[in-house]
Amino acid sequence: DDGRKYLVQQTWDHREYHHPFDGITLTEFDTRTLKLKPETARTLYRGTAVALVGGPHLYKINGYYYLFAAQGGTVFTHQEVVARSKTLEANSFETAPGDVVLTNVDTPDSYIQKQGHGALVSTPKGEWYYAS
């Protein structure tokens, strides 16, 4: 809403004794130089206890930033989580009540499995849907 552009991505921590999936990072992109501005990088969200958070999508709707991300890896624990914040400050995002918005982890016999990496879609009537 202020014209700035960002890269939102999974944080990868290569340090020994740290989990490699370390949350979701936001970094400002300079449209003049076509380069990232590393001094602006900050972790927005670390995920839930399920861990392995990645594949983020960030939206601003009605004054809130919504962060949708997959978590749980690419096995049967794969699921989608959403968090929101009024700002893009470090660690300002709060997970939705109940943590997970989409999963089949408790229904292993379901035809559809391993949902995640979806996106929001709005209709001309202003309705919002999530497609995974």
**For residue range 21-32, what is the model confidence (pLDDT) as tens digits?**
778 999 999 999
Query: How many domains are there within the chain?
Result: 1
User: In which band, very low, low, confident or very high, does the pLDDT at 8 lie, cut at 50, 70 and 90?
Assistant: very high
**For residue range 71-85, what is the model confidence (pLDDT) as tens digits?**
887 777 788 889 999
Q: Cβ atoms within 10 A of the Cβ of 80, count?
A: 21
For the chain, give the percent of residues with pLDDT over 70. 98
CATH of residue 82: 2.115.10.20
Are the beta carbons of 44 and 54 closer than 8 angstroms? Answer: no
Q: Would you state the structure tokens that stand for residue 87, as one six-digit string? A: 């700002």
**For residue range 9-25, what is the model confidence (pLDDT) as tens digits?**
998 877 787 767 778 99
Residue 68 is part of which domain span?
A: 5-131
